[in-house]
Amino acid sequence: MTSAPPRETGKDGPAPDAGSLSRAGDLFQLLRDGRARTRAELALTTGLARSTVASRIDALMLSGLVGPAGEASSSGGRPPSRFAFNPAARVVLAVDVGATHVIVAVTDLGGKVLAEQRLPQLVSDGPETVLERVVEEGRRLLAEAGRSLEELAGVGIGLPGPVEHDTGRPVKPPIMPGWDGFDVVRFVQRSLPVPVLVDNDVNIMALGERTAHWPEHDNFLFIKVATGIGAGIISSGQLQRGANGTAGDLGHVRVPRGDDVLCRCGNYGCLEALASGPAIARELREGGVDAETGSGVLKLVASGNPQAVHALRQAGRDIGDVLATVVNLLNPSVIVIGGSIGQAGENLVAGIREVVYRRSLPLATSHLRIGLSMAGDQAAVLGASHLVIQHVLSPSVIESTLQAAG
Amino acid sequence: MTSAPPRETGKDGPAPDAGSLSRAGDLFQLLRDGRARTRAELALTTGLARSTVASRIDALMLSGLVGPAGEASSSGGRPPSRFAFNPAARVVLAVDVGATHVIVAVTDLGGKVLAEQRLPQLVSDGPETVLERVVEEGRRLLAEAGRSLEELAGVGIGLPGPVEHDTGRPVKPPIMPGWDGFDVVRFVQRSLPVPVLVDNDVNIMALGERTAHWPEHDNFLFIKVATGIGAGIISSGQLQRGANGTAGDLGHVRVPRGDDVLCRCGNYGCLEALASGPAIARELREGGVDAETGSGVLKLVASGNPQAVHALRQAGRDIGDVLATVVNLLNPSVIVIGGSIGQAGENLVAGIREVVYRRSLPLATSHLRIGLSMAGDQAAVLGASHLVIQHVLSPSVIESTLQAAG
């Protein structure tokens, strides 16, 4: 699709196998499923010449992304070698920045966690402080996992606020003073010169939960219920960010029950003003129950306080009211509830189920499952790792990696 | 990805250019943008050998899908030939089945309408009657356009109800007696033995409107307001059908204003019970205004009846209430309002805008456009045509077409 005039390459053009190297990535995409294959099998599946397959496998072996995987059985003669994707070839730094904590993990290219650390850290300390801590901890964990910086394929970071997808900059994040417009990618790359991908925490939690536990579900929702309420949307197998990267913002959808409750956004009746951790705590306080925060609510629920259980279930109903609309609109097959309040127990989920199954269309709910997050605390780092893996193993990046190596 | 043991192909394997034919489709995907290119340009862009490009272009010329497109300028010697996609090579039959009409059109592979006819036809006459009429009219239009059955690449059909995407069968369509589970594809293929693709009308209207007027917008919503209310959702450039093909069903989302209005689905307060054509007519009748149907409402609005104008605007506000949630959730850049009531004027759209801009998040609405359908009556046939074009020009189908021809 170049608009430059054609370069004259001589009448015969390049040698017939000039495409070998640039096409080695195609073989790699085939091998990503983890299955070991012989050269003959690869030739048969791709329709490529055996000699072409051999030279492409050589290039992939050189990069380390593909390795030998034992020998195939043979009816006679020397058994043919088999090759497979080698997820241990490189590592990823996966980072979950929360309001009051940071989780840093090192994973391989299969998303397997090799080392992990959770640190108390206020996001409000600002980007330099937080990201320097992340880099320092990342270096330490790499060493702990016995891996070097040269093996680092990329860094994935989840932030608790809206992020502009193309640039990785936070956009007016409400709970992140000092972060608005900050160039996270460039700052991290000064210390770690690799691809850095940034997204909001709910999106990467959706990616992490789906990749780890629901890979066969292409229409998938992750609902985070904590200080805020948001959704990570996977439709047709793809994370959906919308035109400006704000897709999934459920916190400020209006809920019928809340017409007289003022939200911090200036509107009345937002879901977040009714069903978030702080909102439930406020409602309990208004009823004379001592609850300061969302975690205070959870302690009351755990101790069997009936008012707290009731409030949590009612919050579930309010969330269900919004999700009933979302289910009719997107027809997902799985909705996973996570976040500090969301993953705390069955009372909230019971309230959600109650309303969704009552209000949504029978056709849309006949196969719908609604359940608690299984990845739990790890959803975000798993997603951050997956974001990087998707990128660095994508056809175009693999091509340029191989070409640079060749 | 075969699990069969590798076939022994001999030590030398197939000849080095065995991939030529199967890869001709790659060149075709490049040429689909309509730009004319020389063999040298194609070799440069793809990295393929000039001799390989030449043999692939020959295969594509043989199929008619690519044709000569004049000569390029040259610095000396014989000017090189240029080649381009030839959308006139084949034709598509595009069909919009409505509740009381059928539109049949013949288009080329660029979606250009070559012949078109609108017929009064009740969908309730049942699938055999309707589809026989469609086939008959299709044959007539093909002849009118001077094209033969051999040139027919496929048939696309939009139906006014839920359709199971994989099989093309209607699923419990409320206004289509006799169609539930009917094998539309097989019935049509008895007369027209080509690929037949079936989808619900709102999905194909979204495809048609976006392809014809908003191709650069990847996050796009089409809202049909008529006897029912539904949405066609395009996210990340792709039509979204959900896990069971029911995505976009907005008609039975609850609206705050409607808590005492019973819907035909058995719930109270559904959007369709408040803001569809029949619902507006009912509300006007309750206010003493003589309006039997949605088209009656439109006549009153056109004559300046203030109660009808008010009712239409209020219906817009109710729809806006639901769309405010959808905008927060999906963050589209364009919402197009169509359908017989939707495309009738600015009053409905004004009501929608009023609520969406008040209730949705500023970040999500800062670049959002909400407007009337430009494709109008033609949205569905354009979409049905596009559905077929997407399919028959997709890499896998092109490969098999070329291989069958080779």
User: Which one of B2, B240, B242 has the shortest CB-CB distance to A45?
Assistant: B2
User: Which one of A1, A51, A162 has the shortest CB-CB distance to B45?
Assistant: A1
User: How far, rounded to the nearest angstrom, does the alpha carbon of residue B146 sit from its chain's CA centroid?
Assistant: 25
Residues in Cβ contact with A168 at an 8 Å cutoff, skipping those fewer than 6 apart = A157, A183, A184, A185, A196, A197, A198, A199
Spell out which residues of chain A touch residue B33, defining contact as CB-CB under 8 Å.
1
Give tens-digit pLDDT for B65-101.
899 887 766 666 666 789 999 999 999 999 999 988 9
Per-residue confidence (pLDDT) for residue A158, from 0 to 100: 97
CB pair distance less than 8 Å for A171 and B7? no
Instruction: State how far residue A120 is from chain B, nearest Cα, in angstroms.
Output: 31
H or E element that contains A41: helix A39-46
A41 touches chain B (CB under 8 A): yes
- Please give the single-letter amino acid code of residue A254: R
Query: Which of A331, A356, A365 to probe by mutation at the B interface, max B CB count within 10 Å?
Result: A331
Structure-block tokens of residue B215: 């191709």
Of the candidate ranges A275-289, B19-33, B210-224, B359-373, the one whose mean pLDDT is the lowest: B19-33
Beta bridge partners of B371: B336
B3 touches chain A (CB under 8 A): no
Give residues 52 to 111 of B whose Cβ lies within 8 Å of A.
52
CB pair distance less than 8 Å for A2 and B41? yes
CA neighbor of A332 nearest in space, from A244, A209, A200, A163: A209
Whether the model clears a pTM of 0.90, i.e. scores above it, the answer is no
pLDDT beyond 90 at B364: no
CA angle in degrees (0–180, nearest 5) for B322-B323-B327:
130
DSSP string, B181-248: T--HHHHHHHHS-S-EEEEEHHHHHHHHHHHHH-TT-SSEEEEEESSSEEEEEEETTEEE--SSS-TT
Residue A405: pLDDT band (50, 70, 90) is low
Residues in Cβ contact with B202 at an 8 Å cutoff, skipping those fewer than 6 apart = B222, B224, B230, B231, B232, B248
Per-residue confidence (pLDDT) for residue A169, from 0 to 100: 94
Nearest CA in chain B to A7: B44
Residue A139 to residues A136, A142, A197: CA-CA distances in angstroms? 5, 5, 18
Residues in Cβ contact with B306 at an 8 Å cutoff, skipping those fewer than 6 apart = none
What number is the average pLDDT over the span A342-349?
87
CA neighbor of A117 nearest in space, from A101, A98, A128: A101
CB pair distance less than 8 Å for A246 and B328? yes
pLDDT beyond 60 at B3: no
CB pair distance less than 8 Å for B235 and A240? yes
What number is the average pLDDT over the span B333-345?
90
Classify burial at A278, counting beta carbons within 10 Å of its beta carbon; exposed 0-12, middle 13-18, buried 19 or more: buried
H or E element that contains A298: helix A294-302
Give tens-digit pLDDT for A56-79.
888 888 888 899 887 766 666 666
Spell out which residues of chain B touch residue A323, defining contact as CB-CB under 8 Å.
none
Higher pLDDT, A24 or B186: B186
Give residues 142 to 201 of B whose Cβ lies within 8 Å of A.
162, 171-172
Per-residue confidence (pLDDT) for residue A264, from 0 to 100: 86
A266 touches chain B (CB under 8 A): no
How far apart are alpha carbons B103 and B110 in whole angstroms?
Answer: 19
Residue A23: pLDDT band (50, 70, 90) is low
Q: Answer for the pair A336, A214: CB distance below 8 angstroms, yes or no.
A: yes
Residue B206: pLDDT band (50, 70, 90) is very high
Give tens-digit pLDDT for A372-402.
999 999 999 999 999 999 999 988 888 777 7
User: How far, rounded to the nearest angstrom, does the alpha carbon of residue A401 sit from its chain's CA centroid?
Assistant: 23
What number is the average pLDDT over the span A154-177?
90
Per-residue confidence (pLDDT) for residue B406, from 0 to 100: 57
Structure-block tokens of residue A234: 């996977």
Q: Answer for the pair A157, A124: CB distance below 8 angstroms, yes or no.
A: no
How far apart are alpha carbons A200 and A170 in whole angstroms?
Answer: 8
What number is the average pLDDT over the span B148-164?
94
pLDDT beyond 70 at B114: yes
Highest mean pLDDT among A1-10, A239-248, A249-258, B185-194: B185-194
Give residues 339 to 398 of B whose Cβ lies within 8 Å of A.
359, 361, 363-364, 366-368
Residues in Cβ contact with B353 at an 8 Å cutoff, skipping those fewer than 6 apart = B316, B320, B370
Q: Answer for the pair A66, A84: CB distance below 8 angstroms, yes or no.
A: yes
- Please give the single-letter amino acid code of residue B287: G
What number is the average pLDDT over the span B125-132?
98
How far apart are alpha carbons B291 and B249 in whole angstroms?
Answer: 26
Nearest CA in chain B to A34: B1
What number is the average pLDDT over the span A306-313?
95
CB pair distance less than 8 Å for B243 and A359? no
How far apart are alpha carbons A384 and A200 in whole angstroms?
Answer: 10
Q: Are strands A101-108 and A113-120 parallel, antiparallel or unpaired?
A: antiparallel
Per-residue confidence (pLDDT) for residue B12, from 0 to 100: 34
Q: Answer for the pair B319, B273: CB distance below 8 angstroms, yes or no.
A: no
How far apart are alpha carbons A335 and A325 in whole angstroms?
Answer: 13
How far apart are alpha carbons A365 and A360 in whole angstroms?
Answer: 7
Instruction: State how far residue A66 is from chain B, nearest Cα, in angstroms.
Output: 17
Per-residue confidence (pLDDT) for residue B155, from 0 to 100: 98
Structure-block tokens of residue B18: 């065995």
Of the candidate ranges A15-19, B199-203, B297-301, B310-314, the one whose mean pLDDT is the lowest: A15-19
Of the candidate ranges A106-120, A309-323, B356-370, the one whose mean pLDDT is the lowest: B356-370
Q: Answer for the pair B50, B39: CB distance below 8 angstroms, yes or no.
A: yes
How far apart are alpha carbons B36 and B83 in whole angstroms?
Answer: 5
CB pair distance less than 8 Å for B249 and A1? no
pLDDT beyond 90 at A22: no
Of the candidate ranges A3-7, A214-218, B373-377, the one whose mean pLDDT is the lowest: A3-7
Per cent of chain B over pLDDT 70 is 91
Sign of CA dihedral B190, B195, B198, B202: negative
Question: In order of start, what are the domains of chain B with their CATH numbers?
Answer: 19-87 (1.10.10.10), 90-194+381-395 (3.30.420.40), 206-374 (3.30.420.40)
Instruction: State how far residue A243 is from chain B, nearest Cα, in angstroms.
Output: 5
How crowded is residue B239: how many other Cβ atoms within 10 Å of its Cβ? 23
CA neighbor of B332 nearest in space, from A240, A321, A325, A230: A240
How many CA atoms within 13 Å lie on the side-chain side of A357? 11
Give tens-digit pLDDT for A230-242.
999 999 999 999 9
What number is the average pLDDT over the span A38-55?
83
Per residue, the 3-state secondary structure of A74-132, as one string, reads CCCCCCCEEEEECHHHCEEEEEEECCCEEEEEEEECCCCEEEEEEEECCHHHCHHHHHH
Sign of CA dihedral A50, A52, A55, A61: negative
DSSP string, B13-78: -S-TTTHHHHHHHHHHHHHTT---EEHHHHHHHH---HHHHHHHHHHHHHHTSEEEEEE---SSSS
CA neighbor of B227 nearest in space, from B157, B292, B134: B292
Structure-block tokens of residue B195: 């690929």
Beta bridge partners of A91: A108, A152
Per-residue confidence (pLDDT) for residue A5, from 0 to 100: 36
Spell out which residues of chain A touch residue B332, defining contact as CB-CB under 8 Å.
242-243
Instruction: State how far residue A138 is from chain B, nearest Cα, in angstroms.
Output: 33
Per-residue confidence (pLDDT) for residue B154, from 0 to 100: 97
Computed over every residue of chain A, the mean pLDDT equals: 88
Give residues 113 to 132 of B whose Cβ lies within 8 Å of A.
none
Higher pLDDT, A402 or A262: A262
Residue B17: pLDDT band (50, 70, 90) is very low
Per-residue confidence (pLDDT) for residue A16, from 0 to 100: 33
Per-residue confidence (pLDDT) for residue A4, from 0 to 100: 37
B332 touches chain A (CB under 8 A): yes
pLDDT beyond 90 at B199: yes
Instruction: State how far residue A83 is from chain B, nearest Cα, in angstroms.
Output: 14
Structure-block tokens of residue B6: 């590798």
Residue A123: pLDDT band (50, 70, 90) is very high
Torsion region of A120: left, alpha or beta (phi above 0 gives left; psi -120 to 50 gives alpha): beta
Nearest CA in chain B to A2: B45
Computed over every residue of chain B, the mean pLDDT equals: 88
Residue B18: pLDDT band (50, 70, 90) is very low
CB pair distance less than 8 Å for B329 and A361? no
Instruction: State how far residue A364 is from chain B, nearest Cα, in angstroms.
Output: 6
Spell out which residues of chain B touch residue A24, defining contact as CB-CB under 8 Å.
none
pLDDT beyond 80 at B48: no
User: Which one of B18, B51, B247 has the shortest CB-CB distance to A49?
Assistant: B18
Helices (DSSP H) in B76-158: which residue ranges? 127-144
Query: Which of B200, B246, B319, B369 to probe by mutation at the A interface, max A CB count within 10 Å?
Result: B246
Residues in Cβ contact with A303 at an 8 Å cutoff, skipping those fewer than 6 apart = none
B8 touches chain A (CB under 8 A): yes
Give tens-digit pLDDT for B50-69.
888 888 888 888 888 899 88
User: Which one of B6, B44, B361 has the shortest CB-CB distance to A246?
Assistant: B361
Per-residue confidence (pLDDT) for residue B158, from 0 to 100: 97
How far apart are alpha carbons B41 and A9 in whole angstroms?
Answer: 10
CB pair distance less than 8 Å for A238 and B236? yes
Residues in Cβ contact with A35 at an 8 Å cutoff, skipping those fewer than 6 apart = A84, B1
H or E element that contains A223: strand A220-225
Per-residue confidence (pLDDT) for residue A1, from 0 to 100: 35
End-to-end C-alpha distance for chain B, whole angstroms: 24
Of the candidate ranges A172-176, A264-268, B17-21, B161-165, the one whose mean pLDDT is the lowest: B17-21
H or E element that contains A50: helix A50-63
Q: Answer for the pair A42, A28: CB distance below 8 angstroms, yes or no.
A: no
CB pair distance less than 8 Å for A217 and B45? no
